[in-house]
Chains A and B, each alone.
Chain A
Amino acid sequence: MALIEVRDLEKIYKTGEVETRALRGVSFDIEKGEFVAVMGPSGSGKSTLLHMLGFLDTHTSGTYKFDGKKFTEYSEDERAHLRNKKMGFVFQTFNLLPRLSTIENVKLPLMYSDVPEKEWNERAKAALEAVEMGHRLDHLAFKLSGGEKQRVAMARALVNEPEVIFADEPTGNLDSKSGEAVMSVLQSLNEDMGHTVILITHETYTAQYSERILELFDGELAKDFKVKNRNSIKDGHFKK
């Protein structure tokens, strides 16, 4: 059984009288442990798809099964718990709470979980060390550089050891060096720690860090293929 099963998924936005069909019947499966990139030009529906997969938004028709259970069968609270325990999000704009310290930002998902409080510090520290931010625990988030912010955001995404990490244009606001660092972390999360990673990007170069690409065009799935020449950065050395 696939972790994610999508069948004929549709999403229609209504703005007054105008209907926008952001997704027009998309179907695919994603297995546990995959690293998938969703590509497409802006307006192709890739962000809409990610919001749906990440339980942040509802679909109009079709079915979406996560862990063998339909989205519509989860209650509102169960969706929140699922986002908390099984999903981690990395956003283009980082979305850290600026007045909290690095470690407090990472602790946020733990506060909404059933992890006992005495483990919070240890787990948040471990997550920050995994993204090489262990030296900046008490820095206020708004004082960090863009690359550092995104790494903190990744620590926040993985602190609850989720099954899937959703990354929505994670390199979009970063310079190429910081972007590469972020991609290398995502790759190691997938390869070394076994997290499923779903990446949204419009750059082919960034998409090639993944092992499979879903290409969207005008709300439809145009292509679904394996990446042949994957980008890879290991231990700071760029490999191709």
Chain B
Amino acid sequence: MKIKHTIRSATGGLKVHKSRSALTVLGILIGIAAIIMMVSLGGGAEGLIVGELGGLGAETIVVRPGQEPTGPADFSNTLFADSIKERDVEALKQKGNVPDLLDIMPAVIVAGSMSYEGETFQPTIMGGDAEFIAAAFDVYPVEGYAFGEDEIQQNADVVVIGDRVREELFADSSAVGEFVKVNQRKMRVIGVLPPKGQVAVLNVDSLAIVPHTTAQTYLSGRDYYNQLIIKISDPKHVDRAVVDIERTMRISHGITDPDDDDFYVETQQGIVEQVSTILGALTVLVSSIAAIALVVGGVGVMNIMLVSVAERTKEIGLRKSLGATNKDISRQFLIESILLAASGGLIGIILGSTFSFLVFLIVSNYFLPGWTYVFPVGAAVLGFTVSSIVGLIFGIYPAKQAAKKSPIEALRYE
């Protein structure tokens, strides 16, 4: 019998027991839907995280003091390490040392609060270069302006604030030109940043940027920096620039053995890779759960196919008496099993992508505007193929049982 007619007979067989067929494929449906959702949502999350972390751009390199942290507890080393100072900035600025360096900004993080007419808020006080930050984070003041080299030279008492800081202290009144107290020191607000949210590890909205000289002299009283942010001329040369930066820093610190480094260099690429690794591990976990669901679903398909073979003993006998060969019979049941499992896979793909689209709609509208929807074409193709293969594998035994029936035993069956 031609395959076309075998498929037609097989679909006929499935249609007779619609609800039973539907229940049978539930396991496969859940497995495939889980895979689709995981890949789709995982892809969206990865896009979001990578987008945020990459918000600084691949051409940005960060140098931090201390040893590279291996776990969350190690971060305290970074905050209190005092190894990066002005001489490092000067060394890195020399063209001969790091030819790819375009610009460098030392940054100081100061704990503290900010107050205005009785309102107090605890922003992230960052000593740096407002023009540099505006360019690096792609966030330019909507009111006023960003300070630059002049204000830094003068240790000026000026501050640029993020949107949340503005809202907490000034509500609806104008902030630019007003005087605020930053850790008891009077400073003038000269710029307000637009709402931006999270960029890399910083929440721009709760930022208060002062010149790093001002921060060191009047706020922290320390002569070291918490990090150096470096822009290079071409993101393609990140690796080369990192090598140059490390060499320059070691010379500046008199270090010969890289194991003794009292600083470490972070590139955006490295962070992106870390996130991908974590998401990859999650993918493996959910995939193995989905695989178990598929095996359980496959056993369900096999079970129902055996029931179907038993129920249709008479039909098998009749078909054999009309000239069906053993191969015809086994093929009919095999195709029925594949169709059953594959339709489960197909429904799983539809449900999984619909559900992840709904999650995307909710998340992107209410929580994370940067979330993107990804329809996982690869996972859909894979899911459909896998469910068909499950149908094939778990259909072999019932199909053989069907073909083995002697026509006369089958015809006598009531």
Contacts and interface: CB of A to CB of B under 8 A. Distances in A.
Interface in A144-167: 156, 160
Interface string B320-351: 11111111100000000000000000000000
A56 B408 contact: yes
13 contacts: A56-B321, A56-B406, A56-B407, A56-B408, A57-B406, A76-B325, A83-B320, A84-B322, A85-B323, A91-B411, A95-B314, A112-B325, A160-B323
A81 B321 CA distance: 10
Interface in A49-66: 51, 54, 56-57
Max chain B CB contacts within 10 Å: which of A109, A111, A112, A156? A111
Contacts of A109: 322-323
Contacts of A83: 320-323
Nearest to B410: A56
Contact of A97 (B2, B315, B408): B315
B134 interface: no
Given A57-B408, A97-B318, A80 B12 contact: no
Secondary structure of the B side of the interface? helix
Interface in A95-113: 95, 97, 99-100, 108-109, 111-113
A131 to B, nearest CB: 17
A51 B322 contact: no
Contacts of A160: 323
Residue in B1, B12, B411 with the greatest tally of chain A CB atoms within 10 Å: B411
Contacts of A97: 315, 318
Contacts of A156: 322
A108 B323 CA distance: 9
Contacts of A84: 322-324
Nearest to B315: A97
A100 B319 CA distance: 13
A51 B328 CA distance: 21
Contacts of A57: 406-408
Contacts of A80: 320, 323-326, 328
The 7 closest A-B pairs by CB, nearest first: A84-B323, A112-B323, A80-B325, A57-B408, A109-B322, A56-B408, A56-B407
Contacts of A235: none
B16 interface: yes
Interface string A115-156: 001000000000000000000000000000000000000001
Contact of B321 (A54, A100, A111): A54
Contacts of B315: 97
Contact of A77 (B321, B322, B325): B325
A76 B326 contact: yes
A99 B408 contact: no
Interface in A36-54: 51, 54
A89 interface: yes
Contacts of A51: 408
A81 B322 contact: no
B12 A100 contact: yes
Contacts of B320: 56, 80, 83
Contacts of B323: 80-81, 83-85, 109, 112-113, 160
Contact of A111 (B1, B16, B327, B407): B1
Interface residues of A, number: 25
A95 B12 contact: no
A113 B327 CA distance: 14
B5 interface: yes
A100 B322 CA distance: 15
B411 A56 contact: yes
A149 to B, nearest CB: 13
Interface in B1-46: 1-2, 5, 12, 16
Contacts of B411: 56, 91, 95
Contacts of B318: 95, 97
A112 B328 contact: yes
A7 to B, nearest CB: 22
A112 B321 contact: no
A77 B142 CA distance: 84
A112 B1 contact: yes
Contacts of A95: 314, 318, 321, 411
B322 A89 contact: yes
A129 to B, nearest CB: 20
Nearest to A77: B325
Interface in B195-221: none
A156 B318 CA distance: 11
A160 B406 CA distance: 22
Most chain-B Cβ atoms within 10 A of its Cβ — which of A80, A95, A117, A156? A80
A51 B408 CA distance: 7
Given A56-B406, A81-B325, 18 more contacts: A56-B321, A57-B406, A57-B408, A76-B325, A77-B326, A80-B324, A80-B326, A80-B328, A83-B321, A95-B318, A95-B411, A97-B318, A99-B16, A108-B322, A111-B5, A112-B323, A112-B325, A156-B322
Most chain A CB neighbours (cut-off 10 Å) among B2, B314, B318, B323 = B323
A209 B31 CA distance: 63
A208 B320 CA distance: 31
B61 to A, nearest CB: 70
A206 B348 CA distance: 59
A91 to B, nearest CB: 7
A221 to B, nearest CB: 21
Contacts of A108: 319, 322
A109 B320 CA distance: 10
Nearest to B12: A99
Given A91-B411, A97-B315, A112 B406 contact: no
B12 A112 contact: no
A112 B5 CA distance: 10
Contacts of B324: 80, 84, 112
Nearest to A94: B318
A164 to B, nearest CB: 13
Nearest to A96: B318
